[in-house]
Amino acid sequence: MPMQKPPRLATGTLAFFLDFDGTLVPFDKPDESVPLVDDGLRSLLTELRNRSDGALAIISGRSIEVIDELFEPLKLAAAGEHGAEWRFTPHAHREQIIAPPGLVTAHASCEQFANRTLGVRFERKALSMVLHFHRHPELRDAAAKAAEAGCLPDSGVRVMHARGMVEVKPVDASKGHAINRFMQAFPFTRRKPVFIGDDVTDEDGFIAVNALDGVSIKVGAGNSHARYRLPDEDAVREWLESLLD
C-alpha cells in the first residue's frame, strides 16, 4: 500500500505513542552512544501531553529507567523493553510482565556467542537481552542462530530482529501489546491512537493501531504495515509541532 504524509489532526482527541531511537532522536548504535534529548524536544512533548490531557507515552526497547535518565527532568508515561514493563502515568508505579524461565537459557547461549565473537556485544536487560553488531552486519545470521538456540520450545521467549541487533524477549512483550494495554487505561481510553516508529520492532504497534482505526506512521524507508510515512526524525518533530498550531 502506498504511504503518504500523515494529515493534520486535532490533538484533543488523540493518544500519542512514540518510539524513541530513530523516531524522536537519530538512530546511532544505541550500545555505544548516548542520544541527545534537547530542551526543544522536552518542550514539544510536554505541550503535546498537555493538549492530549496526558495521553502521551514513550514506547521503546530501552528500559524505563534509561528513558527517565535521557529525558530528565521530564518524566513521561512509558513502556520499556518492547512492552515488558510499563507505567500509565509519569509518576505511577512501574509494572511488568512475569519473567519467563527461558530467559536463563537464552542468556547463556547469547553471552557465550558474544564472548567468542569479535564485534558482538551482549547487553542484558531486566526482562530481555540484545546481541549488538552494529559495525558488523555480516554477523546477523550467526547472532540470530545463537539467540534462537537459546529459545527452546515453550520457553516463553522469542528472537526479534532490529537494526544492527538481535533481541531475545518474552513472547508476551511487544509494542502492540503495550499500546493495547495503554488504550484500556486512563487517560488513554476512548481516544484515537497515534503510533510513530521506524524499525521492524515497531510493526506490532502499527498492526495494533490499525486495528483500532488509529494513525500508524513509519519513519524512513522499508516495507511496513503503517498507513503513513515520514522520512526522518526531523520530519517527525515538524509534524508533531504542526499539531500545536
- Under 8 Å between Cβ of 220 and 234: no
- Choosing from 19, 21, 68, 202, the catalytic residue is 19
The residue type of 185 is A
- What's the pLDDT at 1? 45
**Is-catalytic flag, 19?**
yes
For residue 171, is pLDDT > 70?
yes
What is the Cα–Cα distance from 94 to 74, expressed in whole angstroms?
16
- Under 8 Å between Cβ of 84 and 74: no
For 123-143, b where at least 16 C-beta lie within 10 A, e where not — what string? eebebbbbbbbbeeeebeebb
Domains 11-96+173-242 and 102-170 share a fold: no
Tell me the pLDDT tens digit for each residue of 46-74. Answer: 999 999 999 999 999 999 999 999 999 99
Terminal-residue alpha carbon distance, the chain: 30
- What's the pLDDT at 28? 67
Q: Where are the domains of the chain?
A: 11-96+173-242, 102-170
- Averaged pLDDT for residues 91-104: 91
- What's the pLDDT at 245? 86
CATH number for the domain whose boundaries are 102-170: 3.30.70.1020
Tell me the pLDDT tens digit for each residue of 174-202. Answer: 999 999 999 999 999 999 999 999 988 89
CATH number for the domain whose boundaries are 11-96+173-242: 3.40.50.1000
* Mean pLDDT estimate for the chain: 93
**Structure-block grid coordinates of residue 240:** 508533531
For residue 244, is pLDDT > 70?
yes
Tell me the pLDDT tens digit for each residue of 137-162. Answer: 999 999 999 999 888 888 899 998 98
What is the Cα–Cα distance from 240 to 14, expressed in whole angstroms?
12
Print the SS3 string covering the chain.
Answer: CCCECCCCCCHHHEEEEECCECCCECCCCCCCCCCCCCHHHHHHHHHHHHHCCCCEEEECCCCHHHHHHHHCCCCCEEEEHHHCEEECCCCCCCEECCCCCHHHHHHHHHHHHHHHCCCCEEEECCCCEEEECCCCHHHHHHHHHHHHHCCCCCCCEEEEEECCEEEEEECCCCHHHHHHHHCCCCCCCCCEEEEEECCHHHHHHHHHHHHCCCEEEEECCCCCCCCEEECCHHHHHHHHHHCCC
- Under 8 Å between Cβ of 109 and 87: no
